[in-house]
Copies of this chain bind each other. A is one copy, B any other.
């Protein structure tokens, strides 16, 4: 007999993942290695040690170990806010009059308001274990900075955050949350770093970018004794930590014998999408199962749908390693959109490779349509979603409507990565019908592609 499926599926403590899943172990085509920006040769562990903690470097470079144990201290921290619920969207289904079954994995039930905490605690833990005093990082919309501040407060580590200036000014409350957790927050570009001063001189009055804040955080780390740099997305290690999302989702589905047909996630740098889909793509790679995997990105920053699969710099200042990824060019500045977490020019090398090899598809959506979906979702499901997450909602609703038309009873799972409490300026613009949709022209993208570095391996 089929078990009755509750509104929210919560796993018991003993059902929670004890290991992260490293999808690279099952990939035939491994993601391309990071390159040293000076020599354009693959980065060695020794070279990475200038920037990252030792154990995180191991995880970054490990293409072979399928399961990596989660340290007990991290499991204990996870208990503070995990398991996150897998919610059956009964109310949304009814509203849409769809035969589709919709589930969402909700990662917003913690003060950082998003899934970012999953990797923040891991990275902070390894920094602490290595005896460091603190970490430096950048943040755009502020979700990552908040998550890292929380993790550092918990472990007693210092945390220095470079926050993209436009967000620093437009989101004073995000900044205040980080300060409440004891972090130092500096608007970027700043005059506290060489790269910041250079960018300020070249672009007076600039409101900053994520690529620029990364450059500053990396430089700050190299000049401080006892500090390392940490990053909230794109990297292999981050996707690894985030697999706790997908593993929990898979366990919850299996507990009730639910087989999803499609899995949908928003994609900025890839941290949430990669974490959610890795365990499912693992089954595809091993030939055990088949799923439709959909990455959703903003039409204003379409790295998968319109970018090039090429080596590119990860940051604007070109001080970081190069990665082979779908990219719009490291100088690409997306037009103002309200999904600050989806404004990165590149995409996780793992996801880029999987996309290139046909394991997932990608769609781009415009922000007015995204906020329409967000509002519709909020009114029936009760949760006010982050603009980033709402990209996934948009496509989930589109697919559910298709099911209504075809009569198919598909099972749709999407990642609801976070809440929108700090995004009310954006909701206000939508409520006032003042939201713009801007899509870069082919000419703009060509111009941006022309700055891609030439790499001959």
Contact = CB atoms under 8 A, between A and B. Distances in A.
Interface of A: 6-8, 10, 13, 79-81, 91, 109-111, 113, 150, 153-154, 172-173, 176-177, 179-182, 375, 378-384, 419, 421-422, 424-425, 427-428, 431
A424 B154 contact: no
Contact of A177 (B79, B153, B380, B424): B424
Contacts of A428: 172, 176, 179
A111 B177 contact: no
Nearest to A151: B382
A91 B80 CA distance: 9
A381 B80 CA distance: 7
Given A111-B382, A428-B172, A80 B180 contact: no
A92 to B, nearest CB: 11
Contacts of A172: 424, 428
Contact of A10 (B10, B154, B177): B10
A440 to B, nearest CB: 28
Given A419-B111, A421-B421, A180 B382 contact: no
Contact of A379 (B154, B421, B422): B154
22 contacts: A7-B13, A7-B80, A80-B91, A91-B154, A109-B109, A111-B383, A111-B384, A150-B379, A153-B379, A153-B380, A154-B382, A173-B421, A173-B425, A176-B424, A177-B427, A179-B428, A180-B378, A180-B384, A180-B427, A182-B379, A421-B421, A421-B422
A185 to B, nearest CB: 11
Nearest to A109: B109
Nearest to A8: B79
Given A80-B381, A111-B382, A176-B425, 20 more contacts: A7-B13, A7-B79, A10-B10, A109-B109, A110-B383, A111-B378, A111-B383, A111-B419, A113-B421, A150-B379, A150-B382, A153-B380, A154-B380, A154-B382, A173-B424, A177-B384, A177-B424, A179-B428, A181-B378, A421-B421
A252 to B, nearest CB: 14
Number of copies: 2
Nearest to A78: B7
Contacts of A177: 384, 421, 424, 427
A223 B431 CA distance: 27
Contacts of A382: 80-81, 110-111, 150, 154
Contacts of A153: 378-380
A378 B419 CA distance: 18
4 A-B pairs with least C-beta separation: A173-B424, A421-B421, A153-B379, A176-B424
A370 to B, nearest CB: 14
A425 B419 CA distance: 19
A72 B118 CA distance: 37
Contacts of A182: 379
Contacts of A8: 79
A315 to B, nearest CB: 29
A411 to B, nearest CB: 20
Contacts of A419: 111
Contacts of A421: 113, 173, 177, 421-422
Nearest to A112: B382
A38 B327 CA distance: 72
A88 to B, nearest CB: 10
Contacts of A111: 378, 382-384, 419
A10 B81 CA distance: 12
Nearest to A375: B180
Nearest to A149: B379
Contacts of A181: 378-379
Contacts of A384: 111, 177, 180
B431 A180 contact: yes
A150 B383 CA distance: 9
A84 to B, nearest CB: 11
A187 B367 CA distance: 30
Contacts of A6: 13, 79
A109 B107 CA distance: 12
